[in-house]
Structure 1
Amino acid sequence: MSVPASGSPDNQGFIAPDPDPAAAPEWLRAIAGPPAPDSGDTLSLARTLRRAMTITGKPRQAAVLVLFAGSPEPDPAAPGGLPADADVLLTQRAATMRQHRGQIAFPGGGVDPGDSGLVHTALREAEEETGLVPSGVAPLALLPALFVPPSRFDVTPVVAYWREPSPVGVVDRSETERVVRVPMAELLDPANRFLVRSGLGYKSPAFLVDNMLVWGLTGGILAGLISSAGWELEWDRSDVRDLGAALASVGMEL
């Protein structure tokens, strides 16, 4: 897959730069590359399905923005140097959406014909969904693509650092219900972590924060990055909950 050339303007007027791992603050440098294996089998299943799709048909391309914010200075007393003010940008899809309704996700979406690459796609979609200013975002790395069966998208996570955070919020309520900057401290709290098991038997890392259940592809990506970065606190991996019940506890459904 191609990425946009440095300095290449996109069709919304901002510049989509190449990913630059050197732009990462010290506490993010360990994740400017492939994530560690996640605690469940969500990501491995997505990669297996992606390999199968190369035989049965060409998936559609998409990108999501995995956007971290926080002090550029590491906290030497914290695991992986994670600063106390670190957070990640998440959205909740509208309950009226045809696919993945109500689910917690990273901002992102499908590649448009006018996009100059996957970084451009991730930034454009994030701007459309949350109103963020793309020029304040430093893309760091593209992670391996993951296949999402319901939408038949091949999703590439774009890891980035929010060096100049801008105000964000819901732009279009027909697509997005919530836009939330979730503190990493809440995601890392062992009391907020467990696994969920679907009716089909596969497991997913899960996080329960701000009355939201973060699971599936989003939960798997977060779990892998947290492990890669060395931020992880010990949590109970034997705590496996029914997915439907866990969703119902926060007013969500499959």
Structure 2
Amino acid sequence: MGVAVEREGLPGWLQPVRDAAERVEPQQLSRFLPPPVGGRRSAVLMLFGEQAEGPDLLLIERARSLRSHAGQPSFPGGALDPEDGDPSGPGPVNAALREAQEETGLDPAGIQVFGVLPDLYIPVSDFVVTPVLGWWRSPSPVGPVDPAEVASVFRVPVADLTDPANRARLRHPSGFTGPAFLVAGQVVWGFTAGVIDRVLHYSGLERPWDHSRVVRLSEDAFGLALGEPDRVQDPGPELTPGG
């Protein structure tokens, strides 16, 4: 049995996110859309909370020893298991909550699922990803459950994500350029940054920022993310100024 999506009862600041999720089209979120067949089904939890400092978003830093997307800040989440249910039904919501609990120790009972974004695709890992949106109505303690999978768990203020001083475009060694957030001592990039960027934009929370500001991802960080340890020489700074 799946967890029901409940759209009412959200704080006022979160309602534009809910409304954007209900009207956004897949191609507005990413240029990488799922193939007609194939791909590994997975789900992530985009969990919004609120502390004394204001609204925030829960992220994890993936362990550097993982086979794919190693060392990257990301949403909690992972592959669907058979017990999660139908991938076209309750499966993604169940998987997102289960994986978030397994990775961070959070209590799913305190989370209100208020929306589900369209399925997206990560070509480098062949994942078809369903982003699940949650409101952390009753927060619980969180931290890495298994250090072999999760290096750290952290909450990023939404004000920091929308601060133009923390926004940039990141250039990969592959030549691809995408959005990035320089927050909480981390560089949020790749799929996670792309989803955050689009959600902020279509919900009206985005503030004008300098799209000409470009930073470059180090070859080491790129190699870790691709699961190519031979490319990793030195776990040094992830970013360098670039043009």
Q: TM-score range by the shorter chain?
A: 0.7 to 0.9
Structure 1 equivalent of residue 80 of structure 2: 111
Structure 1 equivalent of residue 175 of structure 2: 201
TM-score (norm 2): 0.82
Question: For the residues of structure 2 that align with 1:36 and 1:235, how far apart are their CA atoms?
Answer: 22
Superposition pairs for residues 65-84 of structure 1, below 5 Å?
Answer: 65-70=45-50, 84=53
- Between stretches 92-101 and 222-231, larger displacement belongs to 222-231
Structure 1 equivalent of residue 226 of structure 2: none
- Evaluate the alpha carbon distance shift between residue 21 and residue 158 of structure 1 in structure 2; reply closer, same or farther with a 3 A threshold: same
Equivalent residue for 1:165, pick from 101, 117, 139: 139
1:62 alignment partner AA: S
Helix, strand or coil for the counterpart of 2:30? helix
Structure 2 equivalent of residue 124 of structure 1: 98
Question: For the residues of structure 2 that align with 1:42 and 1:204, how far apart are their CA atoms?
Answer: 14
Equivalent residue for 1:63, pick from 43, 65, 69: 43
RMSD across aligned positions (CA): 2.6
- Evaluate the alpha carbon distance shift between residue 179 and residue 92 of structure 1 in structure 2; reply closer, same or farther with a 3 A threshold: same
Structure 2 equivalent of residue 178 of structure 1: 152
Question: For the residues of structure 2 that align with 1:125 and 1:42, how far apart are their CA atoms?
Answer: 26
Shift of 1:244: 2.3
Q: How many residues were matched structurally?
A: 220
TM-score (norm 1): 0.79
2:8 alignment partner AA: A
Question: For the residues of structure 2 that align with 1:207 and 1:42, how far apart are their CA atoms?
Answer: 19
Helix, strand or coil for the counterpart of 2:124? coil
Helix, strand or coil for the counterpart of 1:46? coil
Larger fraction in strand: 2
Question: For the residues of structure 2 that align with 1:246 and 1:27, how far apart are their CA atoms?
Answer: 38
Equivalent residue for 1:96, pick from 62, 65, 71: 65
Shift of 1:174: 0.5
Question: For the residues of structure 2 that align with 1:20 and 1:138, how far apart are their CA atoms?
Answer: 7
Shift of 1:60: 1.4
Question: For the residues of structure 2 that align with 1:199 and 1:112, how far apart are their CA atoms?
Answer: 34
Helix, strand or coil for the counterpart of 2:192? helix
Contact 2:217-2:238 within 8 A present in 1 as well: no
Contact 1:144-1:156 within 8 A present in 2 as well: yes
Unaligned runs of 5+ in 1: 1-7, 9-15, 72-82
